Amino acid sequence: MRRLTLLLAAVALAGAGVASAATRTDVRVVGTEVPPITSSLGTFVGAAEGPYGGFGIQIEHQPLRTGPTVAVTGGSLWLALGTGATLHAAVAGGSVTVVAPGVRCTNQVYAVHVQLAGGSTFEGRLVHRRRSFFGRCTIYAATITGRASLAL
């Protein structure tokens, strides 16, 4: 209900022709990957700075094994406010690019660039934490850190 109230208020202000320019808010976030986990879907939850308490992002992308850079094809980002309201933004596109491929079963690092609906963006660093278990290189955890730049 609060989300609907925020959305209606934003629509009302836009329709009223508010003279002030759009503002941007940058929010640093950190999260851990949670299920569902696939080669083309990452879901992360964690903490956000400032008046935001929680953060989540789900990024749909081409399978990472298909190239050094793959397209982001969908998903969403949410931020929980201290008031209990939640801000949502749909993913409109972007890319995931290999920064460090993880030679000899070391951690893999990716640059994540996401375009969000309404001119907002998310820039992050994804790390696949890997170790050799019984002779197989295994991802045992994944984390994301970054910054959401929100057009308000």
Complete domains list, the chain, with CATH: 22-151 (2.40.160)
Residue 22 pLDDT grade (very low, low, confident, very high; cuts 50, 70, 90): low
C-alpha distance across the termini of the chain, in Å: 19
Query: What pLDDT, on the 0 to 100 scale, is given for residue 68?
Result: 93
HEC letters along 21-55: CCCEEEEEEEEEECCCCECCEEEEEEEECCCEEEE
144 closest CA partner among 62, 23, 37, 25: 37
Query: What pLDDT, on the 0 to 100 scale, is given for residue 87?
Result: 87
Torsion of CA 27, 123, 41, 83, to 10 degrees: 10
92 closest CA partner among 78, 69, 113: 113
pLDDT in tens, 35-78: 988 889 999 999 999 888 899 999 999 998 867 999 999 999 99
> Per-residue pLDDT averaged across 130-149, rounded?
94
> Per-residue pLDDT averaged across 8-18, rounded?
34
Kindly report whether the global pTM for this prediction surpasses the value 0.85: no
pLDDT at 12 exceeding the cut of 90: no
pLDDT in tens, 67-124: 799 999 999 999 998 888 888 999 999 999 999 999 999 999 999 999 999 899 999 9
